[in-house]
Structure 1
Amino acid sequence: MEKPELGRLVICSIVVFLGTLAFSCSVAAEFKKVKAKDMKLDGSLCSLPRSSAFGLGIAAVVCLSIAQIVGTSTVCIRSGDKKKTSRSRIVYITLLVLSWISFGSAVILLATGSSMNGGQPYGKGWMDGNCYIVRNEVFLGAAVLVVTTVVFTLGFTYAVGATIRHRTRPDEGGRDHQQRKVIN
């Protein structure tokens, strides 16, 4: 059994660490978001205070973005090193596309939710002067997408690593290195 490459292990560790941070920030943002009882009304104008969910959501976006870029760019650089079968290429591309789709969806949810928790003064609401509150479980949905993104990123990291792993090659005599016997 081969030992895992140190580089791939470091990349996976970075992706998992940053994904865990993004997940934690997303879950924390769900509990810290602005609630309807925080809304202040003055006639037809409304105001919402700034919430710590704003910073937590931004931190989640930053952590997830760095994890996605590190995982994707490093693996994409290494994927061109060796020949791959068409089947492994399909698996790799499928996991890569699914990773970016879940990443994009998570970023949209986190960025929108964070923006709506950034504070809204009277008459200058989030959109058209109206106050909007993030629905329940939006940040939790983003947390699920963060986990999905990390799993897909680790999946294609493994898929590419498996296809570029060093294999035994025949030597000059036509025998595999593993089959060669030393004669004393």
Structure 2
Amino acid sequence: MWVGYELTMEKWSRGLSCRAALCGIVVLLCATAFSCSLAAEFRKVKEKDMKLDGSLCSLPKSSAFELGVAAIAFLSVAQLVGTTAAATTMCAASKRSKSSSSTARRRAASVAILVLSWVSFALAVVLLATAASMNNGQRYGRGWMDGDCYVARNGVFGGAAALVVVTAFLILGLTSTTKSSSCATSAASTTTTIPLDAAADAEQPSRRSKQ
């Protein structure tokens, strides 16, 4: 009876430690992406940096380009690591658990959070990529689009930083949702195996008495 319970608790504790490490990695990566986005907001080129040569214009390259690319890289790794681990846990839990209304609600909530995290991630990447490309230097006659020079508006990198925070919270929420679902599945399996073991232990003394 106690062997199955101890094995289940050991697996549960290992799962908690793995999820804690996963959450720490996601928080670290998203915090780095957030810092890079904010730094890019203060390092981006401004209208006063534009140089004119008749009808031609040019803008110098800014460190906001490297910061924007770094923010995209860190955020992408956090998104892939967090959602892949959560999706794997969801698939494993769905195979072990029986279909019920509570399980279906948890699964629907997890899928909704997963979709929202990817939407927030995509918006953040679009803002970061667009603003970063404007800070990669714009030469005379080439500009950023159709030979014209463009400057990223104030708050574009800041909005991307806010979306990074939203994405981080959604990933952490997805991790906690899948954790509660897997814990419920483990508890259900424990309650079904303990009575069977207890029944087997109860039958052994009766058999010995008959002999």
TM normalised by structure 1 equals 0.90
3-state SS, counterpart of residue 122 of structure 1: coil
3-state SS, counterpart of residue 192 of structure 2: coil
The answer to which structure has the higher helix fraction is: 2
- Structure 1 letter corresponding to 2:104: S
- Match runs of 1:1-184 below 5 Å: 5-82=16-93, 83=97, 85-165=103-183, 166-167=186-187, 168-171=190-193, 173=195
Shift of 1:174: 5.8
Distance 1:157 1:16 in 2: 12
Matched positions, count = 176
The alignment-based identity, stated in percent, is 52
Shift of 1:170: 2.7
3-state SS, counterpart of residue 154 of structure 2: coil
Distance 2:167 2:25 in 1: 14
3-state SS, counterpart of residue 41 of structure 1: strand
| 8 Å CA contact retained: 2:90, 2:107 | no
Deviations 1:25-81 (A, max 9, x none): 000000000000000000110000000000000000000000000001111112111
Distance 1:141 1:92 in 2: 26
- Structure 2 letter corresponding to 1:154: L
3-state SS, counterpart of residue 52 of structure 2: strand
User: Where does structure 2 lack aligned partners over 5 or more consecutive residues?
Assistant: 1-11, 199-211
Distance 2:176 2:60 in 1: 45
TM normalised by structure 2 equals 0.79
Shift of 1:175: 9.0
Distance 1:173 1:54 in 2: 63
- Structure 1 segments, 4+ long, off by >6 Å, are none
Distance 1:102 1:50 in 2: 28
Distance 2:110 2:87 in 1: 10
